[in-house]
Amino acid sequence: MEKGGSIMNLEKLSTYESNQLLNSDEFDWFNPSMYKRVVELGFRNVEWNEIPDELLLYLFLHDEPSLGSKRKETTKKEYFREAKQFMDYVFQTSGSIRSLHHEDVQNYQLQLEQQGYKSTTLRRKSVVIQQFLSYLVNKGIIDDDLTKSMKRISVKKETLVNRDFYDTEVQALLDYYQEEDYFMYTLLYVLISTGLRIQELADAKWGNVFYQPEVGLYFLTVVGKRDKAREVPIFEDVLEVIKEFRMRRRFTGELKNDGTPFFPKASGQHYSFKYLSQKFSNEILSLQGQFEFINQRVQREEAMKEEGHNIKYRITPHTCRHYTASYFLSKGADQKAVQDLLGHESSSTTDGYLRRKRKFEEHAAVKVGKTFMSH
């Protein structure tokens, strides 16, 4: 398939020709043209025994699981990376996905574990492989449901990233950045006050800010995971900060649809969410000598690593979402409202955000006080 779109006739496509096509520099894994051709032809009319395994992976990437929604390009690339790694293993061991055995799938999971991947990473990789194998069974391409032999990945809550972010830390960083770095000041202020995911912030548009007179608040409409739109609050003090940031970059602070990003580059383009995430985390980490609490976080993380525990304590954009959840809860919002604010599908996700806050606030020691014995 050329990147422009013309494809070969799949009914007459030999295994050799398919392999030549898939391994050529011309093949674009993320171009949907060949998938559309398969749909036109009909899956039942394709001679699957003559189709190489790589094409099965290609079809999996483009065959959306539900109508009315499409996988994001970033999701497709992640699925491709994980499934391609699995396919490479298949070629080295079984030769083909069609001759794969239950033990082979188990051995692959064990091999990943031996390579030192974290439990959360193992779970992500396993989910993609599980979806890929289920897809092949559902399409009738393979007969045996190999997912039945896959091991569940246990992720203990205690081994997850520590997302605690305290008021004193937040205020210290805001005070510092307000004087030293208005970019970071704006970024931090927006993240902690809205609970936005960093990709949502990167993709947000200035024209989607609006005032809701019934409640007297400004909101920003963003599109989150699974293409769900939601409104996040933009408090007046936060709005003034973002307006100032935009005007420093020669963009309007007036609320109008001017086609610019909510948080624009100087060029007027959207930031890459990966750049913003790395920039945010690295800038805060660079203040290790400036703030003792950052230094303590780094030292605690290194100490845990030496003991064989992979717990992260560094401040990242996602840390801000946890702070937002705790902040709104402390102001009287109920957990369902916080769940809606953050765009969580499940209440258990929100509960996980608030678990550590409750762990300390409801601790038995709080009932005793600061000293054990009263004198």
Residue whose entry in the numeric block shows the structure tokens 């999996």 = 60
HSE-up (13 A, CA, CB side) for residue 157: 9
What pLDDT score was predicted for residue 270?
Answer: 96
Greatest CA span in the chain, whole angstroms? 91
How many whole angstroms separate alpha carbon 347 and alpha carbon 41? 43
How many whole angstroms separate alpha carbon 55 and alpha carbon 20? 12
* Mean pLDDT over the full length of the chain: 81
Burial group, residue 69, by CB count within 10 angstroms (0-12, 13-18, 19+): exposed
**Statement: residue 183 has pLDDT above 90:** yes
CA atoms 240, 241, 243, 247: torsion sign:
positive
How many whole angstroms separate alpha carbon 297 and alpha carbon 313? 5
Q: Are 243 and 253 in contact (CB under 8 A)?
A: yes
Structural domains of the chain, with CATH: 10-155 (1.10.150.130), 167-361 (1.10.443.10)
Q: Are 263 and 187 in contact (CB under 8 A)?
A: yes
Alpha helices in the chain (DSSP H): 15-22, 33-41, 53-62, 73-93, 102-114, 119-138, 167-180, 182-194, 198-203, 236-248, 273-285, 292-306, 317-330, 335-342, 347-361, 364-368
Q: What is the pLDDT of residues 96-132, one digit of tens each?
A: 888 888 898 999 989 988 888 877 788 889 889 999 9
pTM of the model: 0.62
Q: What is the pLDDT of residues 249-276, one digit of tens each?
A: 999 999 999 999 999 999 999 999 999 9
Residue whose entry in the numeric block shows the structure tokens 């989607």 = 208
Report the side by side order of strands in the sheet with 229-234: 209-212, 217-223, 229-234
Higher per-residue confidence, 35 vs 3: 35
Angle between helices 335-342 and 317-330 (to 10 degrees): 150
Q: What is the pLDDT of residues 83-95, one digit of tens each?
A: 999 999 988 888 8
